[in-house]
Every structure is written in structure tokens, then in C-alpha cells.
Amino acid sequence: MNNARGKAGYRVTWAIAAVIAAALFAGLGIAVARYGEPAGLLTWEESLVNHATLVAWWLTRSCYPPALVPVAVGLLVVAWFAPAWRVRILFSIAILLLSWRGADLFQHFFARPRRLDWVVKHERSFSYPSSHAAIAVGFYALWGAMLYLSELPPIVRKVGAFCLVLLAVAICWSRLALGAHYLTDLAGSALLAVALVSAGLALLPRAILPGGVVAGRPFDAAE
């Protein structure tokens, strides 16, 4: 009975997180589409443009299909030979696709114009949310969390998680450095990704986070 209640509690926790993140995402999108970027952020954002541009461009390219498709194919190969990771890999690819296409869909809904101080590439799609940032959080940072909470050796978990989360943060920075997005675009994208991941975890928490921690309590796949 306690085990069943625990499972239900995990699912409810993640479902609540999904609803809160989705509500914040929608509220922020409506606010910035109507009122624009807060003046207090604009000066700081403009100061970041056109710094380390080459690095920023290569980081941005890590969220384009030529980079993502080989990564996804490689993960599917791993899934074939490592059944213990199969659900996590399929989950990550599903969240990747949902983050990418979901961000594109919501861009048309909020219809926020792009920045005009862009460098390297003028992206003509709408601004909120950023598909790059959604992928950074919903795929790369997700993998950082899954590695950290996995059954792999501690050094692999910690170093792998650190590198992947750092990559996710760097990708978000690159969108500011290239003048492609506002900070609020990135925040909204993170909320969208969190909403999607949380909704998925509400359905499959034990398969995605074996050996990890949920809501501050041990989460053992063997239970």
C-alpha cells in the first residue's frame, strides 16, 4: 500500500511541476509579446552581442539537424545494445522532438518579433520561445540529469552531467551573443522544456530516473 502511494505521489509531483511550468511559460509569453523585453534587461543583453562570435556560432550549430541527427542515431544504436538505457534514450529523443517542434509552434502563436542587432545569421522566424534553448534544456540538460541519477560509476556520472549542463548553458548564452534572442525567450524555452520533461516523468518516473531521487526521496527502480 505504501509503495503504491509512493508511486502515485511521484506522479502527482511531476504532474504539478508540469502544470506550473506550462502556466509560467504561457504567462511569460503573453507578457513579452504584449509589452516587450523589460528595459532593465535590454542594456545587459546588448552588451553580450558579438563577443566570442565563432564559439557562439558553433554552439548554436549543436542544435541544428546536422548535429542532432547523428547524436540521435548514435543513441538508438546504444539503445539496441543496452536495454537498460532503452527507455531513457527513447524518452530523450521524444522530448528533443517535442521541444524543437513545440517551440516552433508556439513561436507562431506568440508572434514576438526577432531582435534587430543580430550577427552572423539573420533568423526570420519569431522569437518566443527559442527552439535552441528548448533543445538545450530538454535534451542536453536532461541527459545531464539522467547521467547524474544513473547507475554508472560516480566519476562518469558527475563529469558527464557537468559537461552536458555546461553545454546547455553555453548554448543559451550563444543565442544572446549572436543577437538571436532575448533573455526572456531563453527563460520561456527552459519553462517549456521543464513542462515537457515533467509531464513525461509523470508518466514514466521509474523508467527514466532509476537509482535517482524524486522529491527529495530515494528512488529505487528495484522496488
Whole-number mean pLDDT of the chain? Answer: 89
Q: pLDDT at position 180, please? A: 94
- Residue 195 pLDDT > 50: yes
Residue spans per domain, the chain? 2-218
**Integer-rounded Cα radius of gyration of the chain:** 18
**Residue 52 φ/ψ region, left for φ over 0, alpha for ψ in the -120 to 50 degree band, beta for the rest:** left
- Residue 163 pLDDT > 90: yes
pLDDT digits (tens, 9 = 90+) for 93-136: 999 999 999 999 999 999 999 999 899 888 889 999 999 999 99
The SS3 of residue 111 is coil
Using pLDDT thresholds of 50, 70 and 90, give the confidence band for residue 3. Answer: low
Cα–Cα distance between 84 and 150 in angstroms, integer?
A: 10
Span 151-171, average pLDDT: 95
> Which residue type sits at 22?
A
Cβ–Cβ < 8 Å for 196, 138: yes
Q: List beta partners, residue 214.
A: 217
Q: pLDDT at position 13, please? A: 87
Q: Considering the entire predicted model, what is its pTM?
A: 0.89
- Residue 6 pLDDT > 50: yes
